[in-house]
Structure 1
Amino acid sequence: MSTESSPFSWNFTLGRIPVVVEPSFWLVTVMFGLIGAGRDWRILVSWVGVVFVSILMHELGHALMAMSLGSKVAAIQLYSMGGLTYHDRALSRWRDVAVSAAGPLTGFLFYGLIVGVNHVVPPRGYMAQVLLAQLEWVNLWWGVINLMPVPPLDGGHIASGVLGPARQRLALWLGVITAGAITALALRLGAFYMAFMFGWMGYGCWQGLSVTKDIKPLKPTKVEEVEPDALARAWKALRAGDESEAARLGHLALSAAKPGPESNAARDLLAWVALAEGNGRAAVSQLEKVDPPQAARPFSLAMAYEATGLPERALPHALAALEKEPTEAVAALALRLLVGARRLDEAERIAREFAWKTPATRDARRADVAVARGEFGAAAALYASAFEAGGRAEDAYQAARYHAHDGQLELATEWLKRALRAGYDDFETLGQEPVLARVRSDPEIAEQLRSRGAA
């Protein structure tokens, strides 16, 4: 799997593990280094080297633990002074905890090794002392911070795994309380970046409480209570929008299923029920129980991880799904995740080469990639082409929007008129789009909006 995300990324391999270092990693690392380096360029160079080696060691800890538990590591990505490890399958609850803990533990061991070496060969000179202090800060204290039980830190993942699927709300409350306490302490000490970081993570946990439900253990079901064709009927109910009936039938099917493919199929259904209810964590929990883990459906895993707010874990599963079940839904998911990961060359290739059902869909997906590249004129032309091929009002609206982004106000006005004539009626979105403010003031458009009660 290619890990290239921009022409300025540095790509190399460590053994069998591809590594990509994004430009943002160097930029943010240097910015933080300048704060403490003053005018001494040696301290800045030392800081950049320490952060690079230490975070790479941290991610290698995650990667090697995942590999030891049967996963294949697709890539390590370093970005914005952080890192992500992509592996190809869901792991059981306790194995996932082990993978999360392996990163900070590797940092602690690395720092312990450095301290041991310096004990045998004491550091001499000012820069040696600086280097030791930087290694301590990044590997020891960042590791301690990373173990705080606040998602998305490793400590948050560990707490979620230890508490289990029946106590996910408790894990989020723990994150809210811990983040709030650290934010207050950081503000008191004047550590404003730390306060911002934990305040932001605490807010994310608070938002998660509104959509997260604990998974209650199932009560044993008597064989005579099992309904015939429960799984097929559950899928039918889910497609009809009746999630509660789909869940009832899915649990009945699971209670009667034999271990293996039957049980796995029922869990896949229950994962999609959880997704329909907006509970990505419950979906992941169901898929983690598939046995063996590699039998989990990649598309289901990708959707579940994306719904849980883990697009970096969703992406390798989406690409695997595209090879196994190349449907438009899978291709659209893979393209969306690639765009989010800034792997735009791969996204462009899928948009161009996938066998979309209509030229309109193909051009709209290519336009999405052009938008991500900042090529607004090209995006507008592709949305216009999609509208000509399919007549969808949304595509005409997007053509207007990106012509306006490109500074082509006359074309933007023309395309907004076409969107309105084609039936575009999301007036709330139209009214709030700042780039179309001048276009909305066109007399003909303003009159249309007034006549439809939208202005």
Structure 2
Amino acid sequence: MSTDSSSPFSWHFNLGRIPVVVEPSFWLITAMFGMIGGRLDDWRFVVSWVAVCFVSILIHELGHALMAMSLGCDVAGIRLYAFGGLTYPDRMLSRWRDVAVTAAGPFAGFLFGGVMIAVNYFVPPQTPLARTIFTDLMFVNFGWGIINLLPVLPLDGGQILRGVLGPTRQRLTLWVGVIVAGAATSLFLFIRAFFAAFMFGRMAFDCWQALSVTHDVKPLPPVQTAEPEPEALTRGWQALRSGQETEAARLAHLALSSARPGAETNAARDLLAWVALAEGNPRAALSHLEKVQPPQDARPFSWAMAYEAAGLPDRALAPALAALEREPSEAVVALAVRLLVKARRLEEAERTARDFSWKSLARRDALLADIAVARGDFDAAAALFAATFESTGRAEEAYQAALNHARSAQLERAAEWLKRALDAGYDDLEAVGLEPAFAHVRSAPEIAARLGQRKP
């Protein structure tokens, strides 16, 4: 599994067997915060602030990594970017072990801060710079650590609360997040800490939005059967592929009720997870996967799909890359590329898409088009979406070709492809009407007439 960054200027090194990547954005954003803090009079104070953040955040991520390793995981890597970091275990852990791994990060920072207090006691700082470094160490390791433990997603405290409450109380986790983040926003506004107020306001909004799509997992009653049905698991997968989720769930529970502990039970739980995904309930899918024993026997692809569906792309990436190694398929590669794009690891995403032997080149080109959009290369994206449309005839691909031509100011070609999208059956006229890139294209008489004719 790779933690390669999309930037060629990233710093790569190893801590033991843990690969670490530090992206340029980490240095840039951290230095900006140091300068905002009134350190411009002496560049040494900015450099010392960046060094304090680097060491402290790296120790925080090492806390996650070492706890995961102590529980039987390997760590695919640590990545520092912007103003934080991510640790990538190579597999998912059970619910309570995941809580332990999450809590280990901030408590590693507290331990490091305690060591620095002891050093300060026995070797007091003698210069203004040394005293500033000590103050910054206390602020980052204790101040940020305490804030990070607030029960608000996606902070570590929110992750811990979600694990403690479990899948049957996910909405309660979000409500706590809304209330605590709202209170924190008000407090930071009162003390005029506007960046912190913006950050917690955004988290409160995200938790509020998540409430509209999150459902608590309700425990299913035990399945009562007079006698087991033969090949229930195989027939369950067939029913799921045919769109018969209720029948697939019935057969999965039948298979689970008669399965022997181990591989048979785990296979039934995997099917139940996919049934939950088909029903639009990713939290239930995660609940089923958490019950796989041992935890490393759960399919990485199932974990990745469940995490992505639950709106947790950062957590989905590691199992998606593991699935890419264990069971490569077009669906797995498409998922991995999609998540790499969200993580801005664009070179790795492109390499993954190009290296796979696709049966459908149109599917590959659609992924490469998404990567081009993420890079801002709208000309290349338009060409790739156009090629995909020629292969598939899907109206959505023609619309995307038009949109990216418009983004690159090729208005005539944008109008031509928008007409082709409408001819192919594209019917989301609201999207066309609201898209800023189409402002000039919509004013063309022929396009205006076409859009007017198709209004209900």
TM-score (structure 2 length as normaliser): 0.94
| Percent of aligned pairs with the same amino acid | 68
Superposition deviation, residue 224 in structure 1: 2.3
* CA-to-aligned-CA distance 1:88-116 (integer Å, 9 cap, x gap): 21111111111011000100000111110
Partner of 1:160: 162
Gap regions ≥5 residues in structure 2: none
* CA-to-aligned-CA distance 1:179-211 (integer Å, 9 cap, x gap): 222222222222222222222212222222222
Where do 1:3-402 residues align within 5 Å?
A: 3-36=4-37, 37-222=39-224, 224=226, 227-402=229-404
Superposition deviation, residue 31 in structure 1: 1.6
* CA-to-aligned-CA distance 1:4-27 (integer Å, 9 cap, x gap): 321122222111111111222122
Cα distance in 2, alignment partners of residues 321 and 411 from structure 1 = 40
Between 5-14 and 292-301, report the one with greater CA deviation.
Answer: 5-14
* CA-to-aligned-CA distance 1:344-371 (integer Å, 9 cap, x gap): 1121122223222233222222211111
Between 397-406 and 248-257, report the one with greater CA deviation.
Answer: 248-257
Cα distance in 2, alignment partners of residues 218 and 453 from structure 1 = 46
Cα distance in 2, alignment partners of residues 216 and 355 from structure 1 = 41
CA contact (8 A) 2:92 2:319 kept: no
Letter in 1 for 2:380: A
Letter in 2 for 1:17: I
Cα distance in 2, alignment partners of residues 315 and 378 from structure 1 = 26
User: How many corresponding residue pairs?
Assistant: 454
Letter in 2 for 1:176: V
* CA-to-aligned-CA distance 1:291-329 (integer Å, 9 cap, x gap): 122211111011111122222221121122223332222
- Once superposed, what is the RMSD of the aligned Cα atoms? 1.9
Letter in 2 for 1:277: E
CA contact (8 A) 1:4 1:11 kept: no
Superposition deviation, residue 156 in structure 1: 1.0
Superposition deviation, residue 249 in structure 1: 3.6
Moved over 6 A (4+): none
Cα distance in 1, alignment partners of residues 221 and 365 from structure 2 = 50
Cα distance in 1, alignment partners of residues 114 and 408 from structure 2 = 54
Letter in 2 for 1:61: G
Cα distance in 2, alignment partners of residues 164 and 406 from structure 1 = 47
CA contact (8 A) 1:87 1:313 kept: no
Cα distance in 1, alignment partners of residues 211 and 449 from structure 2 = 44
Cα distance in 1, alignment partners of residues 251 and 217 from structure 2 = 16
CA contact (8 A) 2:217 2:283 kept: no
Cα distance in 2, alignment partners of residues 274 and 202 from structure 1 = 27
* CA-to-aligned-CA distance 1:215-239 (integer Å, 9 cap, x gap): 3344444452655544344334433
TM-score (structure 1 length as normaliser): 0.94
Letter in 1 for 2:30: T
Cα distance in 1, alignment partners of residues 279 and 42 from structure 2 = 55
Cα distance in 1, alignment partners of residues 391 and 175 from structure 2 = 50
Pick the aligned partner of 2:436 from 424, 434, 447: 434
CA contact (8 A) 2:338 2:367 kept: no
Between 299-308 and 194-203, report the one with greater CA deviation.
Answer: 194-203
CA contact (8 A) 1:370 1:379 kept: yes
Where do 1:396-415 residues align within 5 Å?
A: 396-415=398-417
CA contact (8 A) 2:286 2:307 kept: yes
Gap regions ≥5 residues in structure 1: none
The 3 A distance-change label for structure 1 pair 364 and 221 is closer
Cα distance in 1, alignment partners of residues 280 and 163 from structure 2 = 20
Cα distance in 2, alignment partners of residues 423 and 215 from structure 1 = 38
Cα distance in 2, alignment partners of residues 50 and 370 from structure 1 = 36
The 3 A distance-change label for structure 1 pair 395 and 213 is closer
Between 318-327 and 57-66, report the one with greater CA deviation.
Answer: 318-327
Letter in 1 for 2:149: L
